[in-house]
C-alpha cells in the first residue's frame, strides 16, 4: 500500500493526466486524483475535497495555469501549485512563480516531478504545523491579554534594565499613565517616590551581579507614586519570569489605601470601645474612692471616732484623694498615648502600696478577713503565676475596685469560697 496522496490535475488531456498518475504510483504513492480543465470544474473540485497538491498544465484551450492559480487563491486553499507543461517559455514560468506557483516542470524533464512533489508536501506539512503553532500562540496571547486586562491588581513587567514592557489596564487606572506612555520607560522614574529610587536601582543592580534579592517572592507594603506626584501605600510582590537570557521581572501591585483607611477606622472604633470600658471602670472606681471618703468623713463629722481613730480616718480620706488624682493622671496619659516608663533595670516601675486602703470603707482592722494581702506564698508558686507589667499607679483602680466587685459574689454556686490573690511589688 503506497502513501496516500490527494492530487488535483488541471489538464485538458486525459492521457497526459494518466501519465502523471502512473509516475506517482511508480514512486510509491497511492493517489486519489481528479482531472479538471476549466474554472468552474476547478472550483467545484476545490469545494468538495481537500487536496494535497495541484498539478496544472500551463496552456489549455480557454484556460491556463495563471487562471487556475487565481481560482485556487480565491478559494483560500493552502495547497502547493506546480506547473507541469511541455510548452512554457522561461519568462512565462517566472511570471507563474511570481504569481504564487511553487515550481514548474517541463515535460521533457519529467524526472523532477517526484522530488518536487515530495519537497512541496514536506513544505506544506511544515507550513500547516507553523500555522497551528501560530494559532496556539495567538490563543495563548489572547488568553494572557484577557487575564492581564481583567486583573484588578496592577501587573507590570520590566526587563533587566528596569524598563517597562508590560503595563495592564489596572496599572493605567492606579498610576495614571497610559500603556503607550509607560512602555519603554524606566519603572523607577514612573511609580517609585524619589527617596526610594536609589534603593530600587541598587537592589536591581545587586540582583544582576549576585543573583540575590531580598524582595523576590515576598509580599511587602511600601509607598508608590502616581503620575500627579501623590504617594500612596501599595502591597507589592515581585517574581522573576522563567525565561532564558537576561532576567525579566513581573510585579503585582495592589493599592491598599482603602484597606489602610478601614484599618484605621477599626482602630479608632476599638479605641473608643476601650475608652468606654475605661470610663465605666473609672466611674466605678471613683465611686469606691468616694465611698471611702464619705464613710470616713461621716465618722469624723459625726463624732463617731475620736483621737487616733479620727486621725486614721483623715489619713484614709487623704489616701483616697491621692488615688483619685492618680486615676485622673492615668486618663491624661491614655489620652496623650504616653508610653510606659521603665526603670534602670529595664522593668516597668511598680511599688507595693495601699495594703490598708485597698478595701473601700475598710479601716486598718475592719474587713481584713475579706481583703488580705497574702505574702505567705512560695517563690515557686509566684514564678508559675501569670504576670503583667504595669506602670506605677496604672493598676490602682483595678486593685481598688476588685475587692468591691468580688464582694457580691464571694462564693460559687456550691458555696465554696473564691479567692483572688494580688501581688504588687518590684524585684
Q: Along the chain (427 residues), what's the average pLDDT of each consecutive run of 10 residues?
A: 90 91 92 93 93 92 91 91 83 88 85 92 91 87 79 90 92 94 93 90 82 79 93 91 85 91 87 79 81 82 81 85 82 61 46 41 41 51 57 51 46 48 51
Predicted local confidence at residue 151, as pLDDT: 83
Q: 152, 170 in Cβ contact below 8 A?
A: yes
Predicted local confidence at residue 382, as pLDDT: 58
Strands 154-158 and 103-106: unpaired
Q: 52, 26 in Cβ contact below 8 A?
A: no
Task: State the Cα–Cα distance between residues 31 and 34, nearest whole angstrom.
Answer: 10
Predicted local confidence at residue 352, as pLDDT: 38
* Residues making up the chain, counted from first to last: 427
The Cβ-side half-sphere exposure at 263, using a 13 Å CA radius, reads: 5
Task: State the Cα–Cα distance between residues 370 and 411, nearest whole angstrom.
Answer: 12
Predicted local confidence at residue 423, as pLDDT: 55
> Grid coordinates in use for 64?
491556463
Rounded to 10 deg, the angle between the 113-150 and 14-26 helix axes is: 80
Three-class SS state of 103: strand
Task: State the Cα–Cα distance between residues 210 and 162, nearest whole angstrom.
Answer: 17
As beta bridge partners, residue 252 has 155, 237
CATH 3.40.50.2300 residue window(s) in the chain = 3-140
Q: What are phi and psi of 336, to 5 degrees?
A: -90, 0
Nearest CA to 249 out of 215, 292, 283, 296 is that of 215
The structure's pTM equals 0.46
User: Any idea what the Cα angle at residue 68 is, between residues 62 and 74, rounded to 5°?
Assistant: 130
CATH 3.30.450.20 residue window(s) in the chain = 151-255
Instruction: Give the architecture-level CATH label for domain 151-255.
Output: 2-Layer Sandwich (3.30)
Strands 164-167 and 81-85: unpaired
Q: What are phi and psi of 64, to 5 degrees?
A: -155, 180
For CA atoms 111, 112, 115, 117, the dihedral sign is negative
Q: Which fold has domain 3-140?
A: Rossmann fold (3.40.50)
Task: State the Cα–Cα distance between residues 302 and 41, nearest whole angstrom.
Answer: 132
Nearest CA to 138 out of 130, 189, 272 is that of 130
User: Any idea what the Cα angle at residue 261 is, between residues 255 and 265, rounded to 5°?
Assistant: 160
Amino acid at each position: 500500500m503506497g502513501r496516500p496522496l490527494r492530487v488535483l490535475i488541471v489538464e485538458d488531456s486525459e492521457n497526459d493526466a494518466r501519465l502523471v498518475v502512473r509516475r506517482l504510483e511508480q514512486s510509491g504513492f497511492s493517489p486519489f486524483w481528479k482531472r479538471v480543465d476549466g474554472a468552474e470544474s476547478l472550483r467545484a473540485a476545490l469545494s468538495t475535497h481537500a487536496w494535497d497538491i495541484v498539478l496544472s498544465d500551463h496552456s489549455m484551450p480557454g484556460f491556463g495555469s495563471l487562471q487556475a492559480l487565481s481560482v485556487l487563491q480565491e478559494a483560500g486553499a493552502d495547497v502547493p501549485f506546480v506547473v507541469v507543461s511541455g510548452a512554457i517559455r522561461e519568462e512565462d514560468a517566472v511570471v507563474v512563480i511570481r504569481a504564487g506557483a511553487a515550481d514548474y516542470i517541463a515535460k521533457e524533464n519529467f524526472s523532477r516531478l517526484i522530488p518536487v512533489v515530495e519537497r512541496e508536501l514536506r513544505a506544506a506539512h511544515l507550513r500547516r504545523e507553523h500555522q497551528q503553532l501560530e494559532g496556539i500562540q495567538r490563543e495563548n496571547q489572547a488568553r494572557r491579554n484577557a487575564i492581564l486586562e481583567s486583573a484588578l491588581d496592577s501587573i507590570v513587567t520590566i526587563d533587566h534594565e528596569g524598563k517597562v514592557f508590560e503595563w495592564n489596564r489596572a496599572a493605567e487606572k492606579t498610576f495614571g499613565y497610559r500603556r503607550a506612555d509607560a512602555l519603554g520607560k524606566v519603572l523607577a522614574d514612573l511609580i517609585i517616590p524619589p527617596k526610594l529610587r536609589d534603593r530600587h536601582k541598587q537592589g536591581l543592580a545587586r540582583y544582576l551581579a549576585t543573583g540575590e534579592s531580598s524582595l523576590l517572592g515576598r509580599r511587602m507594603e511600601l509607598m508608590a507614586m502616581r503620575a500627579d506626584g501623590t504617594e500612596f501605600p501599595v502591597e507589592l510582590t515581585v517574581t522573576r519570569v522563567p525565561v532564558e537570557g537576561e532576567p525579566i521581572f513581573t510585579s503585582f501591585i495592589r493599592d491598599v489605601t482603602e484597606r489602610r483607611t478601614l484599618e484605621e477606622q477599626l482602630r479608632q472604633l476599638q479605641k473608643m470601645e476601650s475608652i468606654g470600658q475605661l470610663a465605666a471602670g473609672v466611674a466605678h472606681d471613683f465611686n469606691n474612692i468616694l465611698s471611702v471618703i464619705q464613710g470616713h468623713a461621716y465618722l469624723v463629722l459625726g463624732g463617731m471616732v475620736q483621737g487616733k481613730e479620727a486621725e486614721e480616718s483623715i489619713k484614709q480620706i487623704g489616701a483616697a484623694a491621692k488615688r483619685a488624682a492618680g486615676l485622673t493622671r492615668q486618663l491624661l496619659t491614655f489620652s496623650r498615648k504616653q508610653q510606659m516608663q521603665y526603670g534602670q533595670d529595664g522593668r516597668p516601675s511598680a511599688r507595693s502600696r495601699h495594703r490598708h486602703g485597698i478595701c473601700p470603707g475598710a479601716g486598718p482592722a475592719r474587713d481584713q478577713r475579706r481583703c488580705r494581702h497574702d505574702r505567705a506564698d512560695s517563690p515557686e508558686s509566684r514564678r508559675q503565676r501569670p504576670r503583667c507589667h504595669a506602670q506605677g499607679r496604672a493598676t490602682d483602680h483595678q486593685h481598688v475596685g476588685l475587692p468591691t466587685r468580688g464582694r457580691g459574689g464571694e462564693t460559687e454556686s456550691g458555696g465554696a469560697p473564691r479567692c483572688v490573690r494580688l501581688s504588687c511589688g518590684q524585684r
